[in-house]
Amino acid sequence: MKDNFFYICDEIMKKRNEDEDFILSFSGEKSQYIRFNNAKVRQTGCVDDANLYINFIKNNRSCKFSLSFQGDHSNDLNNVLNCIEMMRNEINNLPKDPYIVRPDSSKSICEINDGNILSRDQVIDSVLPIIQGVDFTGIWASGPIYRGSANSNGQRNWFETNSYSLDYSLITPNEKMVKGTYAGSDWNQEKFNHHFENKKKQCQIMNENSKKISPGNYRTYLAPAAVADLIGMLSWGGISEASIRQGNSALCKMRENDISLSSKLNISEDFRSGLVPRFNSNGEISEKCIELFTNGKLKNTLICSRTAKEYNCNSNFAEDGEYLRTPKLSAGQLKEAEMLSHLNEGLYLSNLHYLNWSDRIGGRITGMTRYACFWVENGKIVSPIENMRFDDSIYNFFGDQLDGISDTVEYIPEVGTYDGRQPGGIMAPGIIIDNFNLTL
Amino acid sequence: MKKNLNKILNEINIKADWIGIREVREITTYRSVRDGNPKANDRHLTHGILIEVLYNGQFGYYGTNKFDSKSIQNAASSALKQAKLASKWSLCSFDKDVRPKSVGKFSSYRENNNEISSDILNDILMKTNESIKVSDKIVSASSFFKIVETDINFVSSSGSEFSQDFLLMSIDFSATAQDGNIIQSRSANGRLAQSYQAGYEVFDEQALLNKAQIVGEQAVELLTAEECPTKKTNLVLAPDQMMLQIHESIGHPLEMDRILGDERNYAGWSFVRLKDFGNLKYGSDLLNVTFDPSLEGEFASYKFDDSGDVAKKEYLIKDGILLRGLGGVESQRRSKIEGVANFRSSSWNRSPIDRMANLNIEPGDSTFDEIIASVEDGVYMESNRSWSIDDYRNKFQFGCEYGKLIENGKLTKTIRNPNYRAISTPFWNSLKMVGNKDTFEYFGTPHCGKGEPNQAIRVGHASPVCFFENIDVFGGA
Asked if A140 and A56 sit in the same domain, the reply is yes
- Interstrand relation of B419-423 and B466-474 (parallel, antiparallel or unpaired): antiparallel
Are the Cβ atoms of B40 and A125 closer than 8 angstroms?
A: no
pTM of the model: 0.96
- Which of A29, A60, A358 is the best residue to mutate to test the B interface, defined by the most B CB atoms within 10 Å of its own CB? A358
Among A64, A63, A61, A62, smallest CA distance to A51 is for: A64
Q: For residue A206, give the 3-state DSSP assignment.
A: helix
Asked if A199 and A220 sit in the same domain, the reply is no
Inform me whether the C-beta atom of residue B60 falls under 8 Å from chain A C-beta atoms.
yes
pLDDT digits (tens, 9 = 90+) for A316-361: 999 999 999 999 999 999 999 999 999 999 999 999 999 999 999 9
Residues of B in contact with A421 (CB under 8 A): 453
Inform me whether the C-beta atom of residue B244 falls under 8 Å from chain A C-beta atoms.
no
ipTM > 0.90? yes
Asked if A327 and A268 sit in the same domain, the reply is yes
Pick the last residue of a domain from A185, A207, A229: A207
**Which residues fall within 8 angstroms of residue B422, CB to CB, at 6 or more apart?**
B396, B430, B471, B472
Alpha helices in A182-262 (DSSP H): 189-204, 224-232, 241-245, 252-257
Q: Which of B37, B89, B387 sits opposite A356 (nearest CB)?
A: B387
Count of domains for chain A: 2
Inform me whether the C-beta atom of residue A257 falls under 8 Å from chain B C-beta atoms.
yes
Asked if A60 and A189 sit in the same domain, the reply is yes
Residues of B in contact with A46 (CB under 8 A): 61-63, 75, 78-79, 82
Asked if A288 and A324 sit in the same domain, the reply is yes
**What number of residues does chain A have?**
440
User: Tell me, what CATH number does A42's domain have?
Assistant: 3.30.2290.10
Q: Which of B44, B62, B92 sits opposite A45 (nearest CB)?
A: B62
Phi, psi of B85 (to 5 degrees): -60, -35
Asked if A146 and A235 sit in the same domain, the reply is no
Please give the order of strands across the beta sheet that includes B314-318.
B321-322, B314-318, B289-291, B359-361
Q: Which of B139, B452, B476 sits opposite A247 (nearest CB)?
A: B139
- Which of B29, B31, B41 is the best residue to mutate to test the A interface, defined by the most A CB atoms within 10 Å of its own CB? B41
Asked if A143 and A227 sit in the same domain, the reply is no
Inform me whether the C-beta atom of residue A38 falls under 8 Å from chain B C-beta atoms.
yes
Residues 179-208 of B with CB under 8 A from A: 181, 183, 185
Q: Residue A186 gets which letter from DSSP?
A: B
pLDDT digits (tens, 9 = 90+) for A185-201: 999 999 999 999 999 99
Number of other residues whose CB lies within 10 A of the CB of residue B275? 9
Reading chain B (477 residues) residue by residue, the pLDDT tens digits are 577 999 999 999 999 999 999 999 999 999 999 999 999 999 999 999 999 999 999 999 999 999 999 999 999 999 999 999 999 999 999 999 999 999 999 999 999 999 999 999 999 999 999 999 999 999 999 999 999 999 999 999 999 999 999 999 999 999 999 999 999 999 999 999 999 999 999 999 999 999 999 999 999 999 999 999 999 999 999 999 999 999 999 999 999 999 999 999 999 999 999 999 999 999 999 999 999 999 999 999 999 999 999 999 999 999 999 999 999 999 999 999 999 999 999 999 999 999 999 999 999 999 999 999 999 999 999 999 999 999 999 999 999 999 999 999 999 999 999 999 999 999 999 999 999 999 999 999 999 999 999 999 999 999 999 999 999 999 987
- Which of A31, A41, A101 is the best residue to mutate to test the B interface, defined by the most B CB atoms within 10 Å of its own CB? A41
Q: Distance (Å) from the C-alpha of residue A226 to the closest C-alpha of chain B?
A: 15
> Residues of A314-328 as b/e, b for ≥16 C-beta within 10 angstroms?
ebbbbbbebbbbbbb
Q: Which of B75, B140, B453 sits opposite A417 (nearest CB)?
A: B453
Distance CA A178, CA A168 (A): 8
Distance CA B461, CA B443 (A): 5
- Which of B3, B264, B350, B424 is the best residue to mutate to test the A interface, defined by the most A CB atoms within 10 Å of its own CB? B264
Distance CA B257, CA A115 (A): 34
Asked if A23 and A90 sit in the same domain, the reply is yes
Inform me whether the C-beta atom of residue B78 falls under 8 Å from chain A C-beta atoms.
yes
Distance CA B243, CA B387 (A): 12
Q: Residue B248 gets which letter from DSSP?
A: I
Asked if A308 and A282 sit in the same domain, the reply is yes
Asked if A193 and A227 sit in the same domain, the reply is no
Pick the last residue of a domain from A207, A242, A270: A207
Which residue range(s) make up the domain with A143? 2-207
Asked if A202 and A220 sit in the same domain, the reply is no
What topology is assigned to B5-224 in CATH? Answer: PmbA/TldD fold (3.30.2290)
Residue B408 burial by CB count (10 A; 0-12/13-18/19+): exposed, middle or buried?
A: exposed
Asked if A329 and A181 sit in the same domain, the reply is no
Pick the last residue of a domain from A174, A190, A207: A207
Distance CA A296, CA A60 (A): 41
Inform me whether the C-beta atom of residue B223 falls under 8 Å from chain A C-beta atoms.
no
Residues of B in contact with A99 (CB under 8 A): 37
Are the Cβ atoms of A93 and B122 closer than 8 angstroms?
A: yes
Q: Where are the domains of chain B?
A: 5-224, 227-474
Q: Distance (Å) from the C-alpha of residue A344 to the closest C-alpha of chain B?
A: 28
